[in-house]
Amino acid sequence: MAEKKISPQSSALIGELEVPGDKSISHRAVIFGSLAKGQTKIDHFLDGEDCLRTVDAFRQMGVDIEQQGESIVINSGGAENLIEPKVPLYFGNSGTTARLMIGLLSGLPLFTTIYGDASLSERPMDRVVLPLSAMNAAISGRSDAKLLPLAINGKELQAIQYTLPVKSAQVKSALLFAGLFANGETVITEKAKTRNHTETMLEAFGAELAVQGNTIRMNGKQALKPVDIYVPGDISSAAFFLAAAAAKRDSSLVIKKVGLNPTRTGIIDVLTQMGAQIEISNKKRIGGELLGDVKISSSSLIGIEISGDIIPRLIDEIPIIALLATQAEGRTVIKDAAELRVKETDRIAAVVEVLTTLGASVTATEDGMIIEGNQELTGGNISAYHDHRMAMMGAIASFFTTEDIVIDDISSIAISYPSFFEDLKKITTN
């Protein structure tokens, strides 16, 4: 346990910063680079614990992956030359590794067993196991294969047409990876658009797919060609500093080269609606992904309602949005976000518990929360619930508290943002 005491931060957030690479894109780059025959180079890779679990998995399957911090070089014999791992694959805390790999492993001629840490072992896997079973996948495991550990006996899969009951990019991606090795055309329909990095990267690696509205069609048995990838900065990591700068008086901050894929920019829309001053410049597209520089200056903020189709576009940002809402004028209501209950922890319960301990007035609802604005935060002992985004939200709260905050364990921050505190120092004066 790495406890951390943080004193109230009087400093504004000033300057420029590049945040580490996007977690979702880093995972996918390693997967595609390992499936494509030949050499793939990845730049600005997220050297965080979750993405390293994906790297480890492919090393166990015989792929040569050289990593030096943010640079990765993959030399692979292609999907057909992956070897059966002799030991169970450990996915740690990484839901993305688990869901995406279950999809992929279902369609490869290998037997694998997979497991994770205590948190991942409680997270629902039936959302991928059920549609994969309809494709002829052979997956068994704990609680009728709803929970890790699971055993996957790779099979010849048949493509399906499927409407996703949950708004989840992980489920969509699992089915696309399975579909890539299946016979026939996979057709996936989403009720709301979720992050589309898998689709973008499939195209970058030379696969053909058709996206029309919320429906994706892709033929199976397509070969992938290696391509070099640059991973934009993670907007979900940038969100912590953007939110702090929006509310902390006299702040002016630029986050450079951050990912601006529209399926991820719900946080920019929310900050703008709350009254933050945001300018975006130097927009460009690399490998199909949009990135640019985001400048934010502090201003007075107002509470808003956040619900409906925007939720998947900001699902990981809700803890920091909730903190920000305590500093806005008026009430903020978050709805349609029941998915938060099955993240690294129950993020509705955790956010309400942490913000209440810090002196805010927040009420949990079944699918979200109601946050009163204009709250003076005091301080206190809070738990990070072994959840990286809860730990970083707790640290940012120190910009708005009058007393010390003690976070029980900040080690989870290494999952998505190992240099979080160093970067925070670069843009503050105390």
- Active site amino acids: 316
| Residue 408 in contact with ligand S3P, rule: CB under 6 A | no
Is position 339 an interface residue for ligand S3P (rule: CB under 6 A)? Answer: yes
Q: How far is the CB of 178 from ligand S3P (least distance, A)?
A: 15
Q: Does 316 bind ligand S3P (CB under 6 A)?
A: yes
Looking at 163-171, 227-235, 300-308, 371-379, which segment touches ligand S3P (CB under 6 A)?
A: 163-171
Region binding ligand S3P by CB under 6 A among candidate stretches 11-19, 38-46, 77-85, 169-177: 169-177
Q: Minimum distance between the CB of residue 327 and ligand S3P, rounded to whole angstroms?
A: 24
Residue 262 C-beta: closest distance to ligand S3P, Å: 15
- Mark the segment that binds ligand S3P (CB under 6 A) among 166-174, 215-223, 317-325, 398-406: 166-174
Q: How far is the CB of 206 from ligand S3P (least distance, A)?
A: 21
Output the smallest distance, CB 25 to ligand S3P, in A: 8
**Spacing of C-alpha 298 from chain mean position:** 26
CB-based contacts of 83, cutoff 8 Å, min separation 6: 61, 62, 110
Rounded distance between C-alpha atoms, residue 294 and residue 241, angstroms: 11
Interacting residues with ligand S3P between 86 and 105 (CB under 6 A): 96
Residue ranges of alpha helices (H) inside 181-265 are 197-204, 235-247
Binding mask 17-36 for ligand S3P (x = CB under 6 A): -------x------------
* Whether the bond into 124 is cis, omega within 30 of 0: no
Q: How many CB atoms lie within 10 A of CB 274?
A: 26
Question: Residue 388 interacts with ligand S3P (CB under 6 A)?
Answer: no
Radius of gyration, CA atoms only, the chain:
21
CB of 168 to ligand S3P, least distance (A): 3
Q: Quick one: which of 89, 86, 128, 91 has its CA closest to 107?
A: 128
CA 281, CA 381: separation in Å to the nearest integer? 40
Nearer to ligand S3P, 35 or 247 (CB): 35
What CA–CA distance (Å, rounded) separates 47 from 324?
28
Question: Cβ distance 266 to 296 under 8 Å?
Answer: no
The pair of three-digit structure tokens given for residue 419, joined into one six-digit string: 């240099």
Q: How far apart are CA 183 and CA 32, in angstroms?
A: 19
**Closer Cβ to ligand S3P, 82 or 415, answer by number:** 415
- Burial string for 162-186 (b: 16+ CB within 10 Å, else e) reads bebebbbbbbbbbbbbbbbbbeeeb
Shortest separation between residue 339's beta carbon and ligand S3P, angstroms: 6
Nearer Cβ to ligand S3P (155/389): 389
Applying the rule CB under 6 A, the residues between 179 and 198 that interact with ligand S3P are 195
Q: What is the dihedral of CA 50, 54, 60, 62, to 10 degrees?
A: -150
Contact 174, 95 (CB under 8 A): no
When binding is defined by CB under 6 A, the residue of 51, 128, 129, 169 that contacts ligand S3P is: 169
Q: Which of residues 39-58 bind ligand S3P (CB under 6 A)?
A: none
Query: Tokens at residue 147, please?
Result: 């929970």
Asked if residue 315 binds ligand S3P (CB under 6 A), the reply is: yes
327 sits near ligand S3P (criterion: CB under 6 A): no
Q: 336 or 404: whose CB is closer to ligand S3P?
A: 336
Nearest residue to ligand S3P on Cβ basis: 24
The residue ranges that bind ligand S3P (CB under 6 A) are: 24, 96, 168-170, 173, 195, 315-316, 339
